Structure 1
């Protein structure tokens, strides 16, 4: 990778050469390209600068040319040249979109006005799956706020948004065959905050909006634990809460109430709930829910949870996971499950595991994760002590939890995905940064926990392991240069003292 000086780009590209000076951006500069790509660029420039570039049908005299040519780059790849003219060529439409995101990071305000930093870039992603998880259960985000999150993550070249739709605190998706879920199980949230749910039209709107930004929605119905809310609507499906010692201890520590069967739960404790594993009606319920959610989701994945099922015996857990993972396959989707489901020897072939243990995992967690590979699946890495975006930055930070440790920006950056688990590198499907929302009460809270650490997750998911700029000092400098762009886009990031933030 060649840089004269590190270009202020995140994630760092495969190859990038900085030119001398800038190319002035005139308000009359014309944009030629496919309407969707041209609109993406024109709208973004207007938000940043206040002026709207004109689109042009003429390629020969356009100041900015946006093209797709599969011979130029592979899937999601692109080339970008900023000289007297600007040209982006994507290997496909997604690659063109990502090239536009890179170009927007090169748009800077200076003493002489707005202009592009001169550069030559050739780029493509390391991992096929680059994700962010948004927990819309503990805190409910309306459709408009989910769209904002989609815009934020698309700018960093993420291509999956995992929506954690169900948990003990609430149910967030309309299911026609079980209408009381929306009527009774969706009204609550953590901390006693207002709940909510997505109608089917809402969810279709989210899916379509994400697709326009080349993001696949991954819906999660968390089973068989994390299911207290189901029992508020349909008590016959859920067991009585199991009040384990850790639940009692943590609930007292937080000054919260213990869960009560049939009543909305607003605390943070986990592991007390389970659906009735041996009741056939449970599987009628699960099949109906997964069928309707799958019908709403054109992407290939259905996430079935599987984490922290502390109220379920190992035998019952295995029985449930075997049946439900096979059910997802029958529905024509690929199941994803948290790594605990890897303890089940009969989990459906091809199930993808999502690993949330530490960057130095326990033997048990590592063995559970490896089981997915042995069964023909692959792994998404979400090490909790590196990329869980809800962990506190430091002990005094007012938002977030600290059960996985304190995660500052350097901790989020300084890890290598292929070093976490003893599996072949090509069995790692990708990286995902989850944001759990126990302490989140607004979109501003969410953004402060996500930004700036989400940039570290983006770079680990996109940039090759041998990238010359894949160092903390380079990343720290490039991250500081993001400040004026994030401020212009209204992102409320945490201005941690780890970073020297640029003002222009």
Structure 2
């Protein structure tokens, strides 16, 4: 691979040769192809340069005056592509997703020089390392509009993420319309953390997000967090939840932050965790879970529904096990694959094939490793979201104004220098991939989200996509390549954090 550090390719391609020559944009008469990716490329070039290329046919001009897009299943592995920029420009995708990712790479090769805009010459063959490359957006602690979520999808899919996990419910609010339980949005969606305004997605809103994501080859995974993180359910239906369990840690943390303690039946605007639980031994609780899962499954074409399962500190272990075993089976009965946080692996009888999401640290604590391994024993696999490197809501530095520090301080280098297959003592085949979660306690606006997510999401994208053993998969190479994404993010109006670790460029 010949890949000068100055080239803006993130994530790093599987194989690439990048030269010094450029094809001037002014010489390109149009884009050939019948894929939706053609319009996406035309739109991307227009937003970046102000030049709008036309759709072309083979007869519109010589081959070196067009950009050609086509599908060839033999071109690469699934989601892969080949890209050639030279006397002619061609992207060949193994499938539509591969063609889309090839477009994203070509947009990174579009640079402005002294002689105007041009495409840097390159020969690239690329495909992902992991099939699962995800980001999570917490729309519960703070709520984000459909347009804001779509902007988030644009920015993250451009980095070749292919899953969007939406954390739709928590103690602070319920954010998705459920027809069979209407009080969830009538009563439990009105506020957010800190007493900020709440909100929820109508079914049409949710469908719009799912459709927008699908057009960018992202699968939406909805999460209904159970049996803990359920205080908001009790605001709407008090009979479904237990009284809050006020543990010493919650009381002390609430006092330190000047936040109120949870009161059953009243909206909770603090950040404390572990105090809530649904009623495990009431059959009406499972009627509720079944209805919610059924309606979500009807709305969600993707294969997954996430049932949460983390930080259920107010639920006795035996009760927790009973609940998650039933809840995972309910998801299977609805025709979906259950996903759950790693604590759910403590239950012996979780549904076979349940996918676990590990959020423990890179050095596992307590029983976290054993809980995660149980998913694999039950025929499932794992998504790695190690909190001390992959959580996008941790502070960049101890004095950064946004974020938390309970998992540590995570600068860009720390976010980049970890290996998802080395955290747990499991075969590499047990790891589906990586997900980078953004919890929104301190992120009150989409600008706050962007400050926390970018540039660290680029580090997680490279870990998930690029070959581990590639010579350029190093911090020094990454920071130089990352630096050249600044103009793209600025054009897209992404309010990224200009970390001092990165030698940012303007072109």
TM-score range, shorter chain: over 0.9
Question: Equivalents in 2 of 1:89, 1:422: separation in Å?
Answer: 38
Equivalence map 1:219-234=2 (5 Å): 219-234=222-237
- 1:191-210 residue pairs with structure 2 within 5 A? 191-210=194-213
Matched residue, 2:54: 54
Aligned 8 A contact 1:3 1:16 in 2:
yes
What's the counterpart of residue 413 of structure 2? 410
Does the alignment pair 1:23 with 2:23? yes
Partner of 2:11: 11
Find the aligned partners of 2:212 and 2:387 in 1 and give their Cα distance. Answer: 29
What is the rounded CA distance, in whole Å, between the counterparts of 1:236 and 1:5 in structure 2?
Answer: 60
Secondary structure of 1:26's aligned partner: helix
Partner of 1:373: 376
**Alpha-carbon distance in structure 1 between the residues aligned to 2:500 and 2:130:** 30
Q: 1:305 to 1:431 in 2, by over 3 A?
A: same
C-alpha separation between the residues in 2 aligned to 1:359 and 1:76?
Answer: 29
Task: Output the CA distance in 2 between the equivalents of 1:28 and 1:69.
Answer: 23
Deviations 1:21-64 (A, max 9, x none): 21111175210012411100000111000121011132764510
Superposed displacement of residue 6, structure 1: 5.8
Q: Look up the match of 2:462.
A: 459
Verify the 8 A CA contact 1:14 1:124 in the aligned structure 2. Answer: yes
1:479 to 450, 471, 482: 482
Q: Any unmatched runs of 5+ in structure 1?
A: none
Within a 5 Å distance, the mapping from 1:74-473 to structure 2 comes to 74-473=77-476
Per-residue deviation, residues 243-284 of structure 1 (Å, max 9, x unmatched): 000000110111100000000000000000000000000000
How far apart are the structure 2 equivalents of 1:363 and 1:312? 18
| Mapped contact 1:6–1:469 kept (Cα < 8 A) | no
**Kept after mapping to 1: 8 A contact 2:6/2:484:** no
Shift of 1:4: 5.2
Cα gap change, 1:5 to 1:279, in 2 (>3 Å): closer
Q: Judge conservation of contact 1:27–1:52 (CA < 8 Å) in 2.
A: no
Q: 1:4 to 1:391 in 2, by over 3 A?
A: closer
Q: What is the CA deviation profile of residues 76-135 of structure 1, one whole-angstrom value per residue up to 9, with x for unaligned ones?
A: 000000102210000000000000000000100111000011111000000001000000
Judging changes above 3 Å, is the alpha-carbon distance between structure 1 residues 202 and 4 closer, same or farther for their aligned structure 2 residues?
closer
Partner SS, residue 307 of structure 2: strand
What's the CA shift for 1:196? 0.5
2:376 alignment partner, SS class: helix
Match of 2:43 in 1: 43
Cα offset for 1:361? Answer: 1.0
Q: Distance in 1 between matches of 2:38 and 2:85?
A: 16
Q: C-alpha separation between the residues in 1 aligned to 2:491 and 2:342?
A: 39
2:74 — aligned with what? 71
Distance 1:10 1:69 in 2: 24
Identify which of 474, 478, 495 aligns with 2:498.
Answer: 495
Partner-residue secondary structure (3-state), 1:277:
coil
The more displaced of 23-32 and 102-111 is 23-32
Q: How many residues align?
A: 504
Contact 1:28–1:54, Cα closer than 8 Å, also in 2: no
Output the TM-score relative to the length of structure 1. 0.99
Measure the CA separation in 2 of the matches of 1:341 and 1:258: 26
Residue 122 of structure 1 aligns to a residue in which SS? strand
Change in Cα spacing, 1:49 to 1:439, as seen in structure 2 (3 Å) is same
SS of residue paired to 2:353? coil
Q: Would the aligned equivalents of 2:83 and 2:90 in 1 still touch at CA under 8 Å?
A: yes
RMSD: 1.1
Q: 1:363 to 1:236 in 2, by over 3 A?
A: closer
Give unmatched runs, 5+ long, in structure 2. Answer: none
How far apart, in 1, do the equivalents of 2:113 and 2:80 lie?
A: 30
**Separation in structure 2 between the aligned mates of residue 18 and residue 210 of structure 1, nearest angstrom:** 31
* Contact 2:56–2:66 (Cα < 8 Å) also in 1: no
